[in-house]
Chain A
Amino acid sequence: MVYTRKHPALFIIGLLLLVHGALIAGGYMGGVQKYLNIARAAGEMTNFSYIFGAVAVVAGLWHWFGSHREGNLDYYSSSIAGGIFILFVAMIVKWYLDPWVGALSRGVGPVIPGGRFIHDVFGLNYVVLGIVAGMVIVNVFSIPDWAQNGVRLSRLGLKSGVILLGTLYSLAELANLGRLSVVMIGIFVLGSVGLVLVIGVQRKISNSMGGVLSAGVGVCGVSAAVAAAPVVRARSEEIAYTIGTILVFGVICMFIFPVIGHMLNMGYIQFGAWAGTGILNSAQVAGAALAFQPAGIETLKVAEIFNITRVLFLPIIVLWLAVWYVRRETAAGEVGVQQVDTTRVIFEKFPVFVLGFILMFALSSTGIFAPAQHYQGRYFDNTRVAAARMLNDNEVATLRTESSKLQREDQKGALNRLIENKKLMSIDDDDVLRGVVNSGALSRDANAALRKAHNAVYHTAPMIAAFRDWITWLFAFGLTGLGMQITMAAMRQAGGEPLVIGSTVGVVKAVLSLIVVLLFVRETI
């Protein structure tokens, strides 16, 4: 059979991309860019449109007018059409739909204390919107025939993205975290993953469903589910179910946690520890912390530490799931065989791309891409602050005038050291002064000076920033394509069992972590 379809669609998409690139480069989309707040992406939009537009035009002409015969060339080159189709949809989602939803949401105004908008609360970013866009296309319009083969490239994009995800983490960051957060998170992450796997086996859901759900519920929500999905060979609808469970549960927790926290008269550290442990998704952890303490940053800081800790457990969980899945599948396939030769099974079936993820994590830990203490590319360094980024005389005068407004000794000390040196002298000072900004105690000019001081000592490693861009696009591509494989029939077939299991384990984790926090976590702030 011949896979390539003689169809003008790919050529037309290429032309559209080239025109789009020219419009952006010529400044004709300035109004739209301003409304959507996407002016920073102009370079990326121009370059991507030109590059992939040119590829689509050339390949489109070849598909449309060329002579195609059965074979490898036809099989693989036909997938270009579907690949460009996915990318085209992903571009619309990332460049226009995601910012548009953000603009509409900001227009409504903050919906909870701490300045959180609707799209923050519901996690409506390019990941979720990409999957939804794919699902709408396949269920409402259906995938065009000429794109069908290439849609099967989406998992390749996802796997490549997961491998590069390893560059964002480092062992040094894990070593810097407090012992309490490591022990507590370790117990709850491993416990949650194990519990989902055990319940999943008892309730007879598929191994792939149990695997992806356990990572989502146990580690850090959507990104962990996405990372684990190819490890356990999860089907598209299983990923959708997991993400749906995490987001719905996370939104409910974000509203309920602060209420319970205030009812129990919890302190900042206690609530931060509880939110960072019990809420499934990172975005909603920050939302709950800010809702609990709108005029300060202490709760958010503790919650972030706990959240970072569990994210750093991801490599361990990915390895665990890989071995677990291979053993379960092999045992299921070899009926009557009592003992599974683990070494042989792992050697034969272990997903190789997981080793790539671990390799990138190890490389990142050596400091080859960024200073080893970085977290997702950001690191503190006050030894190399350019003169222009230090506080000027006016800013120093403003801060000196307003220093009397501060009552706490730690805040006064941090501000005095900043005034004296014209730059932040430690991470602790930065944390304290971020709290001052968040509390709104100082004037707008003074807060602007504090923000400038913060930005001057925090650096973004260019390599990690580039990796983040690649990861974002590979995930956008992969998840949009996966969305195109989720039919409503498949969703009905998967049933509601994953929702029940995920919610059950989520509630157990939230309740147990609350008990542990109340028993063992004491306030020190």
Chain B
Amino acid sequence: MADKKSQDIDLHTTETGFRYHRGSALSIFKSDRYEDFIALACALLIALGVFLLLR
């Protein structure tokens, strides 16, 4: 048998056949709230950049 790696314990499969061990079928992040914070950080960075460049 091939080596059983820790990430392979809890594998899921999307409808397109992709196998993953973390996140969900719609996200690579470990939870929706974590994804929210990343999105918030991205948006705030963009807003700050636009504000500083164009004020």
Contacts and interface: CB of A to CB of B under 8 A. Distances in A.
A281 interface: no
Given A70-B5, A156-B42, A352 B36 contact: yes
Contacts of A160: 39, 42-43, 46
Contacts of A353: 36, 39-40, 43
A485 B24 CA distance: 12
A236 interface: yes
Contacts of B46: 160, 164, 467, 470
Contacts, number: 108
Interface string B15-41: 111111111111111001101111110
A308 B9 CA distance: 51
B43 A489 contact: no
A155 B15 CA distance: 16
B1 interface: no
Given A70-B7, A159-B36, A489-B15, 12 more contacts: A142-B16, A148-B16, A149-B28, A155-B26, A155-B35, A156-B42, A167-B47, A351-B33, A352-B40, A467-B46, A485-B25, A487-B15
A490 interface: yes
Chain A contact residues: helix, strand, loop or mixed:
helix
Interface of A: 1, 3, 70, 75-76, 79, 138, 142-143, 145, 148-156, 159-160, 163-164, 167, 233, 235-236, 349, 351-353, 355-356, 360, 363, 368-369, 462-463, 466-467, 470, 484-485, 487, 489-490
A356 B27 contact: no
A470 to B, nearest CB: 5
7 contacts: A149-B28, A152-B23, A152-B28, A233-B32, A353-B36, A356-B44, A470-B46
A157 B40 CA distance: 11
B36 A164 contact: no
A462 B36 CA distance: 27
A143 B18 contact: yes
A462 B54 contact: yes
B16 A143 contact: yes
B43 A163 contact: yes
Chain B interface category by residue count:
35 or more
A369 B38 CA distance: 23
Contacts of A470: 46, 50
Nearest to B15: A487
A159 B32 CA distance: 11
Contacts of A1: 5, 7-8, 11, 19, 21
B35 A163 contact: no
Q: Which of A150, A368, A462, A466 is the most central at the interface, judged by chain B CB atoms within 10 Å of its CB?
A: A466
A233 B44 CA distance: 22
A148 B18 contact: yes
Contacts of A3: 20
Most buried by B among A164, A368, A484: A164
A351 B32 contact: yes
B3 to A, nearest CB: 10
A148 B23 CA distance: 13
A470 B54 CA distance: 14
A163 B51 contact: no
A82 to B, nearest CB: 9
Nearest to A487: B15
B50 A466 contact: yes
Given A1-B21, A352-B37, A353-B39, A360 B47 contact: yes
A363 B21 CA distance: 39
Contact of A463 (B26, B29, B54): B54
B22 to A, nearest CB: 7
A164 B40 CA distance: 9
A75 B28 CA distance: 9
Nearest to A142: B16
Contacts of B17: 142
Nearest to B16: A143
A487 B18 CA distance: 13
A448 to B, nearest CB: 31
A512 B23 CA distance: 44
Nearest to B53: A466
Contacts of B15: 485, 487, 489-490
A156 B16 contact: no
Contacts of B20: 3, 149, 152
Contact of A76 (B28, B32, B53): B28
Contacts of B39: 156, 159-160, 163, 353, 356
A431 to B, nearest CB: 30
Contact of A159 (B11, B35, B51, B54): B35
B28 A163 contact: no
B20 to A, nearest CB: 7
Contacts of B11: 1
A440 to B, nearest CB: 39
Nearest to A352: B36
Contacts of B55: 463
B18 A467 contact: no
B5 to A, nearest CB: 6
